[in-house]
Structure 1
Amino acid sequence: MKRTPGKKLIIITVFALICLTGTGFLINQETRDFRIAKNLDIFFSLFRELNVFYVDEIDPDKVIRTGIDNMLRSLDPYTVYYPESESDEFDFMTTGKYGGIGSLIRASGDYTVISVVYKGFPADIAGLKPGDILIRADGASLKSLSTEKVSDRLKGMPGSVVNLTILRNGKEMEIPVKREKIAVPPVPYYGMIDSNTGYIRFTNFTQNCVEDVRNALLSLKNNRPSQIILDLRNNPGGLLTEAVEIVNLFV
């Protein structure tokens, strides 16, 4: 069987195009790598110059963190960096667990007050009660701090102790509380608002939270609701994969 010149020409042409395409990709990749290396070199050179010649002493951690935050902020609001010091916050967002005392707090004037004490958790075991006013944590004043900052003072590594000074019935008391791993349920409540409306309170997109939402949905469907409210108020976000799976439950 004879091979026609036309077929050979087509094969050679296709091979040449593949080679050119591959070469172009390699050139583009090398150019990109060069630009990355060049810009990193500029960044580190500038940082060295600042560290040596700036009129005041600089805080390296603060300067680098500012650079990282601004770089990520230029992309979108959802790409963020969590340093090791903030790993507890990241763990809470992705697992719903944190080292804490097991209570809810609220603002009251210049101070923060214990509003709920969960039975069997560290705050309950230590003897804290709803209405206790938080004065100090480990000797540091909590006056005029936001509830978020007070919450940060109460959180910590499981097993560590926070020494709280509280005001109860006009009398100051010292209460040490040993922190434990606290798990916040992603679906703390669900039920029927009326004969037609189901309601699911959903607090965070943590690992396997889709199962909690699915179980709530299946339970509500026994009541044949015509509509369901998924309450996401104050939900800080979390894992995208879980969010996608939850959307799939509804669409």
Structure 2
Amino acid sequence: MQSKKKLFLSGFLGIVLGILLSVLALNYFIGNATGSVAGTLKILWTLNILHSKYVEPVNTKNLVDTTIKNLVASVGDPHTTYMSGELFKNFMSETKGEFSGIGVVVGQKDGFLTVVAPVEGSPGELAGVKVGEKILKIDGKEIKDLSLEEAVGKIRGPKGTKVILTLQAEDATIRDVEIVRDVIKTKTVAGKMLENDIGYIRISMFSENTAQDFAVKLDELDKLGMKKLVLDLRSNPGGLLDSCVKIANNLIPKGLIVSVVDKDGNKQEYLSKLEQQKYKLVVLVDKGSASASEIVAGAVKDSKAGTIVGQTTYGKGSVQTIMPLDYESAIKVTIANYYTPAGTSINGVGVQPDVVVELKSVADEQLQKALEIIRTK
């Protein structure tokens, strides 16, 4: 019975592949073919050969997953990845602001898995994980052959379980850090009045609710008499484009916020509708400020809506979207590059601060400099 089932499945796959091959072949012969169509024919034919001829049983799902993963990886972009199963679920939960893990946002930089920013109050931050550290191993195993999402999947896990990261600091020293995982609830907006008419708002990430929470906090401080604002985007790894654009609409005078340009040169411009800037502004950034944070910082700098203080930002100037393949898998694909209002691409370069300040002690020299500047505005 089992043998008949295998024969049936093999025959069914052969029929499906045969139909697909026939359709693609028809396109080819009526003149609609390209190199990609010929390549698709080869891929489908290879899958069919492995499934029908290989001496041992073939796990079709693993075969397809591996094929798609390698196809996506072949473009050479660390931000374009295939996600299936737990990887896909984890990614979607993160954008909603709650997930289980250690609370450390990572990215690919110079060929290494690198800490972009630890989430405030997370197990990772409490364990001393620092911005810019390279992750060499997870639980003692090398990760150089893993995609970004695969590495993230190994770092995450159920609440109460442990993970050991082997970290290399910027001075090349290497250490192991044991971290106990927990449920990470990212409260992305916090703020308070600092002195007189100066308000302070910290944004840790741009998730689904960030723009709404920012508007509430802005209104709260406004009612307390805020006329000047220090916006802290340090160690903010980015997030949703729409979220940062909505926030920029509260701060940047009427005009261009960011341009997004796709592979065909089509440009989409995101504009501020703010008739008049209400608050004097200083924006704090560091090398952990990435993506959506850089959009806000770049727009503030180019529009001269405020002063940028801190360190050169991370340098991620591309836009990704999620393309579902089925209910449990998707491709996260880079679909465009973004440009600041002055037409500058910050990809691999970052946003240069107007005033460079290194953070050398717990005294927070960057915040002190921001306050010094905003008092004179």
Shorter-chain TM-score range = 0.3 to 0.5
Q: Structure 2-normalised TM-score?
A: 0.34
Return the structure number with greater strand share.
2
Which structure has more helix as a fraction of its residues? 1
Q: Which structure has the larger Rg over C-alpha atoms? A: 1
TM-score of the aligned structures, taking structure 1 as reference length = 0.47
